[in-house]
Structure 1
Amino acid sequence: MRGAGSERDEVLLGAETVIAAMAAWVLARYLLPPSVATFAPFTALVSLQATVDRSVRDCLQYVLAMTAGATLAATLAAVAGIHGWTFGLLTLIALCIGRIRHLGRQGTPVAIVSFFAFSSGQGQIDYIGHLVASVGIGALYGLAAHLVPAPARHTGHQQQAVTALYVAMTQRLNDLADTLEAEAPDRDRLRQWRRDWRRLSAECERIRHTIEAEIENGRMNPRRTVSGSGEALPRAR
């Protein structure tokens, strides 16, 4: 926590998640029936991802999945009634809808929400309206907690990491050139070189991943950053 970085970001995200989930659950319990209150903190969890862009995208996908599941349950209950075979049909259709590519990782909640709306709510419009309200409360609290404060920007950290990697590669290449110029390396030296270069290869992948995450963190992020970061991060990549 003493310095800016991914570790402190994870701690702050965890604290925001606890506060948002708690506040959403308390408000949902106060305004809505207990049977739907759990959807509020669950939606808050979905809405709090590592970046604002991912949070908004996952939240919208979850709301779409919830709407599809609730609509499916209400329609099937009204048309065919509450039976074992209609529940099986509900499950089949919900799984098919969940495979739609635009829902991304939120395909599974289509079936989960439809189960609740069909079994607990009996497909009734009142229950579905309360469920939608609970999801809305969770989404608002989750996104609000993520925007105030917004995730920190780490453009300078990524540039420093690339610089350190460049220095390490320069040192390894110089050592390689000096040794090969002077003598034929023995097996122990070759094994050491392999270990060193494999570590550098793994470090390249790690830094590339963090740069991609920071580029994503810049999208829709209201927090200001240093001038030129839009060009600096692609150049660092």
Structure 2
Amino acid sequence: MGTLRNRTALVTGGSRGIGRSISERLGREGALVGVHYGSDEGAAKSTVAAIEAAGGRAFTLQAELGVPGDAGKLWAAFDERIRGLSATPGLDILVNNAGTALPAGIADTAEHDFDRVFAVNAKAPFFIIKQGLERLRNGGRIINTTSGMTRIAFPAIAATAMSKGALTTLTRTLALELAPRSITVNSVAPGITETEANAWLADPGARTHAESYSAFKRVGQPTDIADIVAFLASDDARWITGQDIDATGGSLLGL
């Protein structure tokens, strides 16, 4: 513990699945962690309790993403909680992890569903970053959670993959723009990961098929992703920017 001591982090969607693992890992490294949630306050409080039980510091903040004014509400909640904790204003690490999935191919995708997935996965991070730049200290870190499906064609989630591809492009663009402030911007692209959102992995046949994608013949765990994020948030990753880190466990390498 200690690589992120005296730093403040914000993890969107930080209360469940991959986001929870990221929040807990950053907390173990000494960061004060803002655990954002959209609707499940209980999960967010549970995450904060786990961080505190491990000797870390954390707080919850709520904002629904994908709706007008979402970024402003998020940052207003962040500022208020920081003041309440008498912590130093500002931010060192922003993890745009919150996202939604649309399990539909192009033929079955309704326009309002397309708009929703882009609002959460692409528009929200864009404006969260825009409004957060005045708070992000020089030498800070922006880390975006994208998807291995931006590399691997998977027609069954066409709009979702497309929205994550937009976030990958934003990562490269901002890496160049923010380099003069020594702010690194990278993304992490998970593959099939064992979270609540992938409850279908409980089916033995489906799990075996999912495991076959990875070179390691297993599905990913949230901690696999969190460890990569913690590295990118640390000083050790100071020379890495504009990169989309493949975190799929080598999925489909042999094809």
Q: Please tell me whether Structure 1 or Structure 2 has the larger radius of gyration of its CA atoms.
A: 1
Using the size of structure 1 for normalisation, the TM-score is 0.25
Question: Higher RCO, 1 or 2 (CA under 8 Å, sep at least 6)?
Answer: 1
Using the size of structure 2 for normalisation, the TM-score is 0.24
Structure with bigger helix share is: 1
